[in-house]
Amino acid sequence: MTSIWVEKFMDKYTRSYKDLVVWQKGIALAKIVYRVTQSFPATEKFGLIAQMRRAAVSIPSNIAEGQACHTTGEFIQFISHAEGSLAELDTQLILSIELEFCRNPTGAAAFELIDELRRMLNVLRRKLAAR
């Protein structure tokens, strides 16, 4: 089952990482994380807030950097980095809910986007590897 965003990526006319739906969803997730962490305790400024924001920004950043690479192998490596940052963010979001820094309904949108991005990155990595 090939989705539209994979077909668009595979299209030779994709000019920029900004054309990739997976990158766009990564940006959306980063914005959610920034909003969610605004209400965290100030004592977490250099702890969980900084780590969550860094991991969230890393996801679309790695997609962008990978798409700009000259080889498929390099792109796959950056997709793997994005997947790692996504797992890191997922763990940190779980912890923030358990510590009651984040309300579960607020985190629900982030968890949905994390799951969607995980699937999209997995499909993208597999499609690139098959080329």
Domain residue extents for the chain: 17-129
Amino acid 80: pLDDT: 97
User: Which amino acid makes up residue 121?
Assistant: L
Nearest Cα residue to 117 out of 69, 67, 79: 79
Q: pLDDT tens, 51-70?
A: 999 999 999 999 999 999 88
Percent of the chain with pLDDT over 90: 79
Q: pLDDT tens, 9-46?
A: 455 545 789 999 999 999 999 999 999 999 999 999 99
Mean pLDDT of 68-76: 92
Class in CATH terms, 17-129: mainly alpha
Nearest 10 degrees: CA dihedral of 70, 72, 77, 79? 100
pLDDT > 90? residue 114: yes
Task: Pinpoint the alpha helices (H) of the chain.
Answer: 4-10, 21-37, 48-68, 72-98, 104-129
pTM beyond 0.85: yes
Q: Lowest-pLDDT range, 40-44, 102-106, 120-124?
A: 102-106
| Positive/negative CA dihedral, 46, 48, 50, 51 | positive
How far apart are the C-alpha atoms of 106 and 52, rounded to whole Å?
Answer: 15
